[in-house]
Structure 1
């Protein structure tokens, strides 16, 4: 159990820790000379059962409250120290407020210097202390008179702390590893050592970790727990980590950094939070109010953006957005404290809710509902509530990372809330089953309505369908949703078009017979230079209008594509030409090719080759810059899956291409 002292300067915190443990907390020369604690001090006490109590001795001077805050995060038990002669003093109240804001709910009040106070004075100060802690997290805490001079009450206090260690649960033990650094130093022959309290999870010798927010990679070469060498440290332990890495040095690692599981490295400089303003404040917070934010061992400047309709008055709580001067490493539901920019007083504190909030539209009802969901402490309840808020789909991996959930819990979370997972690249987008059923029902209804209105079309365009549906999913998430619906055999994906799996488009017998005749003219040896509408009309003895109508119809069915006006190519030929262009790009320098090279592969003349490439340009399959073109890899399958490009044999494959049609050719 980690015990943190708190209290006013010169009330005997360091002396009491020494009396309990035998260890001098003041280690700096200046501390010994001035007789006050300036930096954090540490001491350890073995107790029955093989356990060890860790003590963090904090400064009591108002100038060093920021140091006190660096040591207060991560403690399990508060030891509030009040001198019997002085009684309650300003830093007593401020330290108690910090304990309350950090949510530390277990503690004892030590009434020191009891040997120089009368029984009446001890009773009076004890009553004042009980009144002070009322309605705080230490309400009902015992007040124990002690004296380090006579030893009165010291053994009893030590026994009480040992007993408390046996019943104090370690929170965060089942989450991923995070340690807040409060001290960095080097040892000869050892290297860089970072000390701090393990906030969550477990760390072991040989583990790969990251220093956040800098992102430096490191390995744990060795570690000490509670001042003893160990193989692993756990949530609630005081640890000293010997860190090793290419960029690891004393100057690269600082108090305020976090050592953590590499998968948790995602620093943030904008956080939605629940903030409580202390009743002791003389006036409320105004918009964009500057403060000093204290989180774990970090201290950073910030501005407070009010998200509610009313101002934040003293003694009240509200949702706010904290805009930080620089990124910090944090987790959702972490506690924080704010102080004024002059570092003279503690103003309030609260709990982080959303580590990735937007800078705009942050006061909408949808954002309010999302923050309410994220405020739930149980991750399953929070994630289930999150999936019922706009936009109704959320990344399960991001949620698990921001809560530092263990890998096993991260994997089981979607199933625990009965969510559907849509894989998008490395992300796992979750949708509640009820929302998914409603969305797919709307999708199928939209397709049915489209088929009823346009029975002769093969389907609806992908982007048009996406914009018809609510919620309006991002394109990548929508693509994953379509793939899942298609795997369930509810819809069919035909290139850029979507249709119901049961939908079929059939030509009339007359059109079918005419199409077979036209199809034979568009394929075969003429596939890369098919006849135009007027030529097909002449060859079949049909009118141009009838041929054009037929080709427009089968074009909507996906059988042909109109590359240029009245110039139709079979869809299979278009796919083949995309493959030829991709093959050219793959085999030429810088992944580019020219119209002349494309013409030579198709052997169909420069004019037709240019028309084909301009068709590809319009559809985003190729990207043109001057006479050079490169392929857009994201749209290679726009006309369906590619096939291997056909290479047409020539009697002289090494001959120079015909100059006719080239841009540099001039007829005599």
Structure 2
């Protein structure tokens, strides 16, 4: 358990921590000289050392001693973000003071639900004063999470009341429910960085999630602008101030890192497992405005945002109420969905607590929890987006995903979702196991409705589309294909890329291809090569087309990789060029020929062979034009034309200056020589 002290300056926080643990957390010369805490201080308490029963497995208690000075509130927030239990101190001689109120507000806004109150310096006042302080404290904490917290009277310098307080904290630590560790990637908010001889760079902070072992790799987030995140290996670990082979969520951790210099990481950055690495300048959150604020919080308000150990300026955009209705302002004491637009990136994940302070950083305004750390810049106040935010307020990642799938019209990027939730490893697959159970393969004639579409990626599920959305998009795609047939009755149908542009241009391409595959597998559409049509629609060849096809097909087969121009085929066949062009177009529409560029046609065996060469060139996933040219024996211009054709039909995908192979695409893998392949595979 991590206990965080809170209270006004000179109310005895450091002295009480020393009395409880024997450790003086004021370590800096300036702190000693001035008699106040400036930086975060840490101390630890063992149950057995305090007379407790170590056999019960009571964990070591860590204390975060925070500054009480108003100008050091940002430092207090850095320490308070990861605490489990608040220890609020009020000096009996002073009573409630300004920073007492602000620290209480910050603890409330951070969502810290467990706490204890210590009335310090009780040896300096009489019984009547102590009784009056009890009343003041109860009035102060009324309506906050500390409303029912016990009050202990102590005099740290003499030891009066220290033992009962210590025993109470040990009992609280024993009763604290264990944190969820499995399935979450490790992350830690860095609040101190220093170097030690023989160890190197050491970063300390509270582990927010996951587990870490010696030898693991971590990334420093966010990276410098325009650079990739720095990577470091864990050389040594201290958890709760003791050397350990592993560290886990909820512990104070010191990490010795290899491959990282002290000046390459700073206070406020995060160390995270590579699988969950992300950073953001825009996040959506559920926010509560402090009840004592005099004015409502409106869009455009400049604020200081505290997340983890990071502090960054930004602005607020009020989105809507918790019921999913748009609102213009957040009233004092109320809660709403907001978007925070930050002036520089920070590391943040769903579930992280946030605190907002006003533009001058003089008072706490609001607090809440991150819902989506990769928030959209567009459509952020639409009813659809607000419904998605309502879904993201569910208690667990699987529940959030289930609710999100019921709302998201374009499906869910599962990799992005899992990263934002901090879910790593095998838990990513488990996250969609329940929803994936309904995503069975559709057989011929099977209905597409009431089934979730799940797209598998190289390392697990990559995309998912809800059952209702799958049925809606299947209907819309078929309806648009029917309309295309009515508008272009002479054509067999559009190619897959054009069909997507007509029916669902905003849908992610992996989801679209999966939807097409399911429609084809259910027999609701027919995919011929790169062309798609309804089963009842087809391009019929006339007797003239059949005769011309018999004359040109031998020449096309003999042409191999080079293909033949329509004009040359007409000339060699001794037929009018216009008639030959019409026949070639119909054959291409039926998937019996392929038009690589306008008027240049290839036979299916040649395209299948070129597709095999393209796959062979993609050892690292990218097909380089020079490599493809050399392996195919084509000239540079023709090689590029073929690669661009593969981009168009979906075998490859153009990314910058390279052509990237779609690993899950089964186009042109058939060996029957007609180019059709299996209808379900060609999607």
Q: Distance in 1 between matches of 2:293 and 2:557?
A: 83
Q: Which residue of 2 aligns with 1:204?
A: 213
In 2, Cα distance between equivalents of 1:401 and 1:301: 24
For the residues of structure 1 that align with 2:168 and 2:640, how far apart are their CA atoms? Answer: 84
- The offset of 1:227, in angstroms, is 1.6
Contact 2:109 2:290 in 1 (8 A): no
**Structure 1 stretch displaced more, 137-146 or 282-291:** 282-291
What is the CA–CA distance in structure 1 between the aligned matches of 2:112 and 2:358, rounded to whole Å? Answer: 22
2:591 corresponds, among 512, 535, 558, to 558
* Higher mean C-alpha deviation, range 8-17 or range 209-218: 209-218
Deviations 1:235-284 (A, max 9, x none): 11111111111xx1111121111122111211111111122222332323
Q: Report what 1:230 is aligned to.
A: 244
TM-aligned CA deviation for residue 80 of structure 1: 0.4
Q: Which residue of 2 aligns with 1:400?
A: 418
Q: Any idea what SS the aligned residue of 2:188 has?
A: strand
Q: Does 1:55 align with 2:82?
A: no
My pick for the range that moved more, 421-430 or 111-120, is 421-430
2:127 aligned to which of 98, 119, 123: 119
2:349 to 308, 331, 355: 331
Which runs of no fewer than 5 residues in structure 1 stay unpaired? 602-609, 623-629, 644-668
Structure 1 SS opposite 2:181: coil
What does residue range 635-650 of structure 1 map to in structure 2 within 5 Å?
640=668
| 3-state SS in 1 of match to 2:263 | coil
- Contact persistence 2:492–2:539 (CA under 8 A): yes
SS at match of 2:331: coil
- Distance in 2, matches of 1:43 and 1:458, equals 76
Quickly say closer, same or farther: Cα 1:550–1:61, change in 2 above 3 A: closer
Aligned partner of 2:677 in structure 1 is none
Q: 1:439 maps to which residue?
A: 473
Q: Partner of 1:276: helix, strand, or coil?
A: strand
Counterparts of 1:465 and 1:109 in 2: how far apart (Å)? 66
Q: Which residue of 2 aligns with 1:186?
A: 195
Partner residue, 1:571:
603
Q: 1:392/1:135 Cα in 2 relative to 1: closer, same or farther (>3 Å)?
A: farther
- Aligned pairs for 1:527-566 (under 5 A) are 528=564, 535=571, 550-560=583-593
- What is the rounded CA distance, in whole Å, between the counterparts of 2:220 and 2:275 in structure 1? 12
- What's the TM-score, normalizing by structure 1? 0.82
CA-based RMSD of the aligned residues comes to 3.9
1:339-387 alpha-carbon deviations (Å, 9 max, x no partner): 2233322222211111112223321112211211122221111101111
Query: TM-score scaled to structure 2, two decimals?
Result: 0.80
Q: Does 1:41 align with 2:41?
A: yes
- Alignment partner of 1:91: what SS? helix
Aligned 1:429-578 pairs, distance under 5 A:
429-444=463-478, 447=481, 457-469=491-503, 472-483=506-517, 485-486=519-520, 491-500=525-534, 506-507=540-541, 512=546, 515-517=549-551, 519-520=553-554, 524=558, 528=564, 535=571, 550-560=583-593, 569=601, 571-572=603-604, 575=607
Could you tell me which residue of structure 1 aligns to residue 4 of structure 2?
Answer: 4
Cα distance in 2, alignment partners of residues 631 and 300 from structure 1:
37
Alpha-carbon spacing, 1:185–1:514, altered in 2? closer, same or farther (3 Å): closer
Q: Determine helix, strand or coil for the equivalent of 1:327.
A: strand
Residue aligning to 1:421: 454
Counterparts in 2 of 1:496 and 1:106: CA distance versus 1, 3 Å: same
| 8 Å Cα contact 1:574/1:639 also seen in 2 | no
Displacement of 1:405 after TM fit? 1.9
In structure 1, distance between residues paired with 2:300 and 2:248:
39
Partner of 1:89: 97
How many residues in Structure 1 have an aligned counterpart in Structure 2?
617
Distance 1:204 1:554, change over 3 A: closer
1:263 and 2:275 aligned: yes
Q: Which residue of 2 aligns with 1:68?
A: 76
Task: Give the secondary structure class of the aligned counterpart of 2:406.
Answer: coil
Question: Is 1:277–1:317's contact at 8 Å kept on the other side of the alignment?
Answer: yes
The CA deviation at 1:435 is 2.9
| SS state at 1:64 partner | helix
Over 3 Å counting, the alpha-carbon distance change for 1:121 and 1:477 in structure 2 is same
Name structure 2 gaps, 5 residues minimum. 224-228, 321-326, 437-451, 649-655, 672-683
CA shift at 1:544, angstroms? 7.6
Q: Which residue of 2 aligns with 1:655?
A: none
Q: Which whole-Å CA distance do the structure 2 matches of 1:30 and 1:105 have between them?
A: 34
Tell me, yes or no, if the aligned pair for 1:278 and 1:347 is still in contact at 8 Å.
Answer: yes
254-263 or 148-157: bigger deviation: 148-157
Alignment of 1:371-386 (within 5 A): 371-386=389-404
In the TM superposition, what are the counterparts of 1:120-269 in structure 2 within 5 Å?
120-174=128-182, 175-214=184-223, 215-245=229-259, 248-269=260-281
Give me the whole-angstrom Cα distance separating, in 2, the residues matched to 1:42 and 1:297.
15
Do the aligned partners of 1:533 and 1:548 also contact (CA within 8 Å) in 2? no
CA contact (8 A) 1:256 1:298 kept: yes
Of 525-534 and 393-402, deviating more is 525-534
2:365 is aligned to 347
1:515-551 Cα offsets, whole Å, 9 max, x none, are 4355456655897477758657857xxx887666544
**For the residues of structure 2 that align with 1:525 and 1:147, how far apart are their CA atoms?**
97
Q: Does 1:280 align with 2:292?
A: yes
Q: 1:49/1:578 Cα in 2 relative to 1: closer, same or farther (>3 Å)?
A: same
Give 1:299's match in structure 2, choosing from 306, 311, 318: 311
Q: Which residue of 2 aligns with 1:604?
A: none
Distance in 2 separating the partners of 1:305 and 1:97: 22
Alpha-carbon distance in structure 2 between the residues aligned to 1:479 and 1:568: 27
Partners of 2:268 and 2:597 in 1: CA distance: 64
1:460 match: secondary structure: coil
Other-structure match for 1:666: none
Report if the CA contact (8 A) 2:189-2:269 is conserved: yes
Structure-2 change in CA distance of 1:551 and 1:431 (3 Å) = closer
CA distance in 1, matches of 2:256, 2:624: 52
CA distance in 2, matches of 1:71, 1:618: 55
User: SS of the residue aligned with 1:271?
Assistant: strand
Once structures 1 and 2 are overlaid, which stretch shifts more, 442-451 or 197-206? 442-451
Closer, same or farther: CA 119–362 of 1 in aligned 2, 3 Å: same
Q: Alpha-carbon deviation of 1:573?
A: 7.9
Shift of 1:455: 7.2
Instruction: Indicate the residue corresponding to 1:21 in structure 2.
Output: 21
* Cα pair distance change 1:569/1:286, threshold 3 Å: closer
